[in-house]
Amino acid sequence: MTTWLTLYYTVCVFVLLSAASGFLYWGLEQSMDQEDRDYIAQKIQVLTLILQTRPLDRPALEQEVRVEGQIAERSRFPFLSRVLDESGQTLLETPGMSPMLPPSVFPDASTAEPAQKRWRSPQNVPYLLGAATVSSAVPDSRPWRIQAALNAGSEDDILVRYRRDILIVLVGGLLGAAALGAWITRRGLRPIADITSATERIGAQQLTERIKSGPWPKELLSLAVAFDGMLDRLQEAFERLSQFSADLAHELRTPINNLIGEAEVALTRSRPAEEYVRVLQSALEEQGRLARMIDSMLFLAQTDQARAALSPMKLDARTELQAVADFYQALADEQGVQLICEGQADIVADPLLLRRALSNLLSNALKYTSRGQRVMLRASGGLGSEATLSVIDSGIGIAAEHLPKLGDRFYRVDPSRTESPGGAGLGLAIVKSIVALHGGRFLVESAVGRGTTASWVFPARMPR
């Protein structure tokens, strides 16, 4: 990043310096060219004025052509001029002009307007040439032609030196821009290096460390906050994974130990066939428990990454509640528990996951509800506002200290509160994962001896 930023900065400086230098060079060249043209036009105008007003004043004409030419040789503007008659014969010229500038190289001045052009001699000397035709004010006088030349060699020297100076400025500016750009970039990116150093210190044993406490620039503060948020999620996931691994080992150890113990006891001596059948039936129950536990864990693992696989659709909540109630009706009748469905709501959900979550909630409610009592399935709200599906039982209830932990994987309330202690503590965890997939909230309200209300609150609009 430092290299690229320095390169971009240097290229920008090069473009700016080149544009500025090119503009200044063009301005100087145009200014000098215009100055030359004005100078030679002025000299032609002086000769024209003499020839028009005083055609017989030869001393004045010689003064302008010869003496002024000699003076100009020692100045910045070496000037040469020539006066020719109508036939092209030279009447007067600056001494030494003909070998360098024969009349044929000058522009045609047959029109009334003076003409100018740039010309370079065989000796590679640049000249600005001008020519004009002059008509005398004296009657019956013939016209004259004026030819004037300005040696522009000194201006070429000035432009050459200026180009050399521009090149020096460009090279020096590029080197200075590269060095300054590298220094500015390194200084500007130093907070990123500090953040990198801070993140390198964070490992599995230092997940509690954060980087947002540093004096970061405003542009990087949001990055630090976002990174700390990621660390919070990683720490939470790491702790959950560690706890999950410990709980999983504990939960798997019990049925496996049971299987091993029963098999060892059965093999210590010969036993009747009926006892072997009992051992196999017990083993089959433990294996079924293991299979259900593995199935639940696989489902939880899939739901952690399953948002893209959801197939939500608009559903009638009362219909879905009634379908789940009908499925558990036989079990409810056997336990002497009354199932009631009430309310109406329209929801958007994946129908398969919805029924699985409701089945888990209703199964738990039936476990903890005594004979002669009832379980109610209620729907309220609808599209455009929050909708709520609730499973309400009048069972033994749950103590307040357990409510915040309900839905944690493998968490179970004291097994003595139920006659079916064989659960793995994954049912509510599955419900909580399904609710989270739909962007909803899972709420549990309960009081000991008064029953429990488990609610799935749907958002007004399902998140994408």
User: For the residues of 16-71, what is the DSSP string, one character each?
Assistant: HHHHHHHHHHHHHHHHHHHHHHHHHHHHHHHHHHHHHH-TT-HHHHHIIIIIHHHH
| C-alpha dist (Å) from residue 132 to 41, 56, 89, 366 | 10, 19, 15, 120
- 341: confidence class by pLDDT, cuts 50, 70, 90: very high
Q: Judge contact between 462 and 352, C-beta under 8 A.
A: no
How far apart CA 156 and CA 76 sit, in angstroms, is: 12
Domains and CATH numbers, the chain: 2-160 (3.30.450.20), 218-303 (1.10.287), 310-458 (3.30.565.10)
Half-sphere exposure of 422 (CA within 13 A, CB side): 12
Question: What is the model's pTM?
Answer: 0.46
Q: What is the mean pLDDT of the chain?
A: 80
Could you tell me the CA-to-CA distances from 59 to 44, 45, 66, 106 in Å, in that order? 17, 17, 10, 25
Chain position carrying tokens 């549990």: 444
C-alpha of 134 from chain center: 74
Say whether pLDDT at 422 is over 60.
Answer: no
> How much of the chain exceeds pLDDT 90, in percent?
9
pLDDT at 155 (0 to 100) = 83
According to the model, what pLDDT value does residue 419 have?
40
Mean pLDDT of 195-208: 71
429 or 420, which is more confident: 429
312 pLDDT tier (thresholds 50, 70, 90): confident
Distances in whole angstroms, Cα of residue 333 to Cα of each of 77, 158, 326, 339: 122, 111, 11, 9
User: In whole angstroms, what is the distance from residue 359 CA to residue 200 CA?
Assistant: 47
Q: Tell me the residue length of the chain.
A: 464
Instruction: Take residue 90 and report the two structure tokens written for it.
Output: 């030279």
pLDDT at 205: 66
pLDDT higher than threshold 60 for residue 307: no
